Structure 1
Amino acid sequence: MPQLNWLVTGTSYGFGEYFVHSILARGDHVVATAQRAHEHLSHLKDAGAAILDLDVTAPQSELDATVKDALAIYGGIDVLIKNAGYVEAAILEELDDSRLRKVFETNLFGPVNLTRSLLPHFREKPNGVLLFMSSIGAYGGAVGAGAYSATKGALESKCLVDCLREEVSLFGIQCCLVTPGFYRTNIISPQNIKIVPPSISDYAELNKLYQGGVTAMCGNLQGDPRKATDRVVDMVRSEGMASGKPIPARLPLGADAIEIIRDDCLEKMKICDEWETFTSDTNFDAE
């Protein structure tokens, strides 16, 4: 495969940073982005990446201008990884509207707006790959995870990304929803996770429970993020074990993601089987 040009958001830590190293290791070009890039991404610049300031929550006009700058660096972009995001952790009743809207601005609306900025370039080519980073958090409820899971659920459901795929496939543009399981990144480290201060005494024990769980998980998860990002690059480049395979609509990433998503599908099938007779006969009676 020829050399590809990648644009990756949220590269100051976590999967984004690992993606940059995986991409550079294949000899591809990458534009690594983050807020205050020259402050946070100098190590990626030293490794060979181009760096660029990008705030995914910026107005559409600013995103359009930033994408224009990114396109000029290597003469185009072939792959966009929308990775920027964060975990907002809170009991739902304690989560105020402004914080809920803010996490949606970053995790959902930001990726959509950035996609809008790059699509004219992809349509003109015409080709390109759009990768949306989701999470297995979209597949099950957990105390304190409602806001984060909701943002990923909006991507994961057969809705936004699937509709986009139908709309842009005639231009040779491919969309893939990448759904990682639990990986040892620092997205839930104390300096990155956003925990809403408890305010309702009735939830005191639940707050202790989920915050203790977050602390226990941080740094102890078994998933190797570099192996994961290497596999995603394999998928895009159709190399390694992905050789000859088309880019899928969804990529569960990790053994735990495979298990959780499969169990979710089986549970939905079970519900359909159990309630089919009860709910199916609801059409108008034949005249």
Structure 2
Amino acid sequence: MAPLVWLITGCSSGFGAQFVHSALARGDKVIATGRNAATKLKHLDGTGAAIVDLDVSLPEAEVKNIVDKAAKIHGRIDVLVNNAGYGFFGAIEETRRLFDVNVFGALAVTRAVLPHMRAQQSGTIAFVGSMYAWWTPGMVTAYGAAKGALKAIVDGLAAEVRPFNIRTIDFEPGFFQTPLTDGANLAQYASAAPPLDAYADQRAAMVAVAAAHDGNERGDVGKGVELMVDVIRGEGRASGRSMPLRLPIGEDAVKVVEATCHNMLKVVDAWREEVVGTTDRDEFESDKGIESIVTVPDIKLWTYLPW
């Protein structure tokens, strides 16, 4: 396999930084991006990665201009990893800013990369989502909503780009030892609005959980990213497997997905006859429903591309 060219967002720490090291270790080429790259990506100096300053929340035209220049570094982009993002609990305006980075930022970078992948008729677009897309606890609503949006985007995007031999996947990690629950990180993104007394107990409980797990998260970032790189490259534990549209990463994420699906199926079974199945128009012809032409895609959507 020829070396792949990766463009990775949010490389200052955590998954993003590890993706840089893991991809380079496989012999690939990396374009590492992040805000204030001169300082926040300084730890990547000397790794061999190309460093590009990219704030994904910039206007789309500016994002496209930066990505187009980055694509010229190695002449192509084979893999995009949409990793940039953060989490917090806050007011409406702060939630909009979170979506600007976590959702609209990922869309802007994806839209900027797609013309290059369509031209070369190949590519992989990966999103670093979260198990919170399946289960969102109290006080994490905005973050879970953003990750849920990415989960839905992958479904539609996969169908749109499939004719161009471009694959998509949403990785959905559980708790990993990243700065996400670090106290200083939470304080950095804490709401500037006065906290509501009505939610004081819930807020205190969430902060206590974050503090208790900070430094004691289940997942090892290095192992998690190595698995994700295996999946993207079709190597190691992913050898001979088809790439799914989404993949939980970590035992806790697997349990959340299993429990959510199980609970939803129980709801459908419990309500099917009395309510769910009683809403058809009397004159409706059952063989002409939308479900006859639109089906949920098999999770084994992709075979690996012959790069």
TM above 0.5: yes
8 Å contact kept, 2:131–2:174? yes
Q: Does 1:138 align with 2:130?
A: no
**1:206 partner letter:** Q
Deviates more, 1:29-38 or 1:43-52: 43-52
- Deviation at 1:192? 2.2
TM-score normalised by L of structure 2: 0.88
- Deviation at 1:245? 1.6
Runs of 5+ unmatched residues, structure 1: 90-94
8 Å contact kept, 2:102–2:147? yes
Select the residue among 110, 117, 121 that pairs with 1:122. Answer: 117
| Match of residue 301 from structure 2 | none
Q: Distance in 2 between matches of 1:221 and 1:210?
A: 15
TM-score normalised by L of structure 1: 0.94
Correspondence 1:196-215 to 2 at 5 A: 196=191, 198-215=194-211
Q: Distance in 2 between matches of 1:26 and 1:254?
A: 22
Deviates more, 1:183-192 or 1:80-89: 183-192
SS at match of 2:180: coil
Q: Distance in 1 between matches of 2:132 and 2:153?
A: 17
8 Å contact kept, 1:82–1:132? yes
Q: Distance in 1 between matches of 2:199 and 2:242?
A: 47
Correspondence 1:178-257 to 2 at 5 A: 178-193=171-186, 194-196=189-191, 198-257=194-253
| Match of residue 73 from structure 2 | 73
Q: Does 1:160 align with 2:153?
A: yes
- Deviation at 1:248? 1.4
Select the residue among 270, 280, 283 that pairs with 1:283. Answer: 280
Correspondence 1:18-57 to 2 at 5 A: 18-57=18-57
CA RMSD of aligned residues (A): 1.4
8 Å contact kept, 2:91–2:191? no
8 Å contact kept, 1:252–1:258? yes
8 Å contact kept, 1:108–1:154? yes
Q: Distance in 2 between matches of 1:53 and 1:45?
A: 13
8 Å contact kept, 1:3–1:27? yes
Q: How many residues align?
A: 280
- Deviation at 1:118? 0.8
Q: Distance in 1 between matches of 2:93 and 2:88?
A: 12
- Deviation at 1:98? 1.0
| Match of residue 92 from structure 1 | none
Select the residue among 92, 96, 108 that pairs with 1:97. Answer: 92
Deviates more, 1:35-44 or 1:173-182: 35-44
C-alpha spacing 1:202/1:10, structure 2 compared with 1 (3 Å)? same
- Deviation at 1:286? 4.3
